[in-house]
Chains A and B, each alone.
Chain A
Amino acid sequence: MAVEPVEAEVTVQDERLVLNMGPQHPSTHGVLRLVLELDGEVVVSCKPVIGYLHTGFEKTFEAKNYHQGVTLTDRMDYLSPLSNNLAYALAVETLLGVEIPERATVARVILAELTRLASHLVWLGTQAMDLGAMSVFLYCFRERERILDIFEMCSGQRMMTSYIRPGGLAMDLPEGFEEAVREILALMPARIDEYEDLLTRNEIWRDRTIGIGRLSLADALSHGVTGPNLRASGGDFDLRRDHPYCGYEQYDFTVIVGSRGDVYERYLVRIREMRESLKIIRQALDRLPGGPYVTADRKVAFPPRAELATSMEALIHHFKLATEGYRVPAGQVYTAIESPRGELGIYLVADGSARPYRLHVRAPSFASLQALPVIARGGLVADLVAIIGSLDPVMGEVDR
């Protein structure tokens, strides 16, 4: 006997639920707290609460001399430490007015692009894991270990290398560097193909990311969003091409620009950026010259250790640099680079002493997270995880 379904006459009251997400949460990519107002499953408003990782970097910079400050920069955007080193070094070098040798400049490009690769690998692994694709996480970290091996080969440290310093590099590139990087270049294209095989035409991935988390170009620009998030929404802006530094104008690469501005587009932009990074690394490696790795200006760069045994002047320079540090002439500059997250800017106010008077870091994730309420409003709470992952925030630089 068939039973006819009856239209239930239940009136549901309009109840808003305030839900707290974080700061401890498997998918918030760090200590991010979201206060959500939900109407059923729909996000009515989303208010990010940040500051759970506030470390007082900017105050600490004022207490350290410029050489000591390099170690602090690694720990802000901890997924791309070399990019932070680079932004800091460029800002200090602009005010110092020192000449950086070609070898250091090209090496910086190689290291910055390797950092971009490593950072995007973490992004992809964690975003995929958030959406359930656990294997991609393991594959990405497998590749990332190879890149970390290169950083360890150069500086002794896997992550917080402090390798790019004002003046050049901390020490010369090791023997075997070129072979190791060429191995990565040979290995990565097939591996990126593997990730794309798993995800790009995967129906579940597409269902969970296409049309989700749309950010219009106007909203992106007005909220200060930069980097892959802006490019996925149609903003054709990349500091490597538009404000070139470290000789990026000599390299031939495409700036990947999307149009739809949803989670899937941000995924595609970053995947393609990984391939472009490989192109840049290859060109830079072919161009890598010999020569000094640090500026010849002895008031800034430490003298080679061998000279300390024979030259009194070198000893005095070393002593002064290690105890007092070099003085940076008074002035103000804003320097920005294209970090994996967007425009990473350093606003440096120097007063002629050995310590920065004010060093403000313009973190790209800070601005991207500002746009999160705009993106999340009206969507489902289940999509929040995909949206946060696609914005790729790093709380270390958001909170500084």
Chain B
Amino acid sequence: MTEASAVETDAVVARVQEAFGDRIRAAGVDYDQPWFVVARADLRALAAFLRDDPALRFTRLVDLCGVDYLTAGPALPHDARFEVVVHLHSFPLRRWARIRVPVPEDDPVVPSLTPEWPAANWFEREAYDMFGIRFTDHPDLTRILTPDDWEVHPLRKDFQPPREPHEWSFNPEEWQKAVQRGS
């Protein structure tokens, strides 16, 4: 685990593109982290490939979250509203890889990674809670952070509850009395 592999990050991208061809919608390397954009139908296959390929060995699921690109976001390689972003980590390569899956607004469903990656369980529940993205085959897709009876998805860009106005009151007589009391 402590020996860095000789495979460069560019070679990681090349290897994946060789195996998946057109199914990789976009790919690149940013800050030494390879990233791939795939359709949701290919998510499980790509994750399994990254995990099982003997030169890659991205065996650890680090993080899974959603992103809402509704408002003017960075230039995107797709036009879906949401993305599910998965970060995997490889011990021998000592790198993280990012898989980005576009999720359309009218059908926010993505295959769940939980059956093969138990670590994804709560992360997917959080993505469901915060964005409303549903994960098929998830053992328990319920809200995890917000109260169970809430129906909103707070991290969506169009969820902007009003800031609660605070009422401030200042009573000069009370203030004078307090000053005289010395407290």
Contact = CB atoms under 8 A, between A and B. Distances in A.
User: A and B from one assembly?
Assistant: yes
B33 interface: yes
Contact of A349 (B33, B62, B67, B118): B67
A349 B74 contact: yes
| Residue of A58, A236, A332 with most chain B CB atoms under a 10 A cut-off | A332
Nearest to A225: B119
Interface residues of A, number: 39
Given A59-B154, A221-B60, A333-B33, A352 B74 contact: yes
Contacts of B63: 334, 345, 347, 360, 362
Contacts of B144: 50-51
Contact of B119 (A222, A241, A330, A400): A222
Contact of A223 (B74, B85, B94, B119): B119
A362 B60 CA distance: 14
Nearest to A346: B63
B31 interface: yes
25 contacts: A51-B145, A54-B145, A58-B155, A222-B117, A222-B118, A222-B119, A224-B60, A224-B119, A236-B2, A237-B1, A237-B91, A242-B1, A242-B2, A331-B30, A331-B31, A331-B74, A332-B74, A333-B31, A334-B62, A334-B87, A350-B74, A358-B68, A362-B62, A362-B63, A367-B122
A334 B145 CA distance: 23
A58 B67 CA distance: 11
A370 B33 contact: no
B62 A236 contact: no
A241 B2 contact: yes
Nearest to B74: A330
Contact of B145 (A50, A332, A333): A50
Contacts of B98: 332, 334
Interface in B63-97: 63, 65, 67-68, 72-75, 85, 87, 91, 94, 96
Given A333-B33, A345-B87, A362-B62, 18 more contacts: A51-B143, A54-B145, A54-B146, A58-B155, A221-B59, A221-B60, A224-B60, A333-B31, A334-B87, A345-B62, A350-B74, A351-B72, A357-B67, A360-B67, A367-B122, A370-B121, A399-B145, A400-B145
B1 A236 contact: yes
Contacts of A223: 118-119
A90 to B, nearest CB: 11
A392 interface: no
Contact of B73 (A333, A351, A399): A351
Contacts of A51: 143-147
B12 interface: no
Contacts of A349: 67, 73-74
B35 interface: yes
Interface in A338-382: 343, 345, 347, 349-352, 357-358, 360, 362, 366-367, 369-370
Contacts of B61: 224
Given A221-B59, A236-B2, A366 B74 contact: no
A366 B122 contact: yes
Closest 3 CB pairs of A and B: A224-B119, A51-B145, A54-B145
A400 B94 CA distance: 28
Contacts of B30: 331-333
A331 B63 CA distance: 18
B111 to A, nearest CB: 18
Contacts of A174: none
Given A94-B31, A224-B61, A334-B96, A347 B74 contact: no
A146 B68 CA distance: 44
A97 B60 CA distance: 28
Chain A interface helix/strand/loop/mixed: mixed
Contacts, number: 96
Interface residues of B, number: 38
B96 to A, nearest CB: 6
A56 interface: yes
Interface in B135-152: 143-147
Contacts of B74: 330-332, 349-352, 357
B154 A56 contact: yes
Contacts of A331: 30-31, 74
A224 B62 contact: yes
A63 B33 CA distance: 27
Contacts of A343: 62
Contacts of B143: 51
Contacts of B35: 332
A217 to B, nearest CB: 12
Contacts of A333: 30-31, 33
A352 to B, nearest CB: 7
Contacts of B119: 222-224, 367, 370
A237 B94 CA distance: 10
A334 B96 CA distance: 8
A98 to B, nearest CB: 14
Contact of A347 (B2, B65, B147): B65
Contacts of A56: 154
A357 B145 contact: no
A109 B178 CA distance: 47
A336 B73 CA distance: 24
Nearest to B63: A362
Contacts of A243: 94
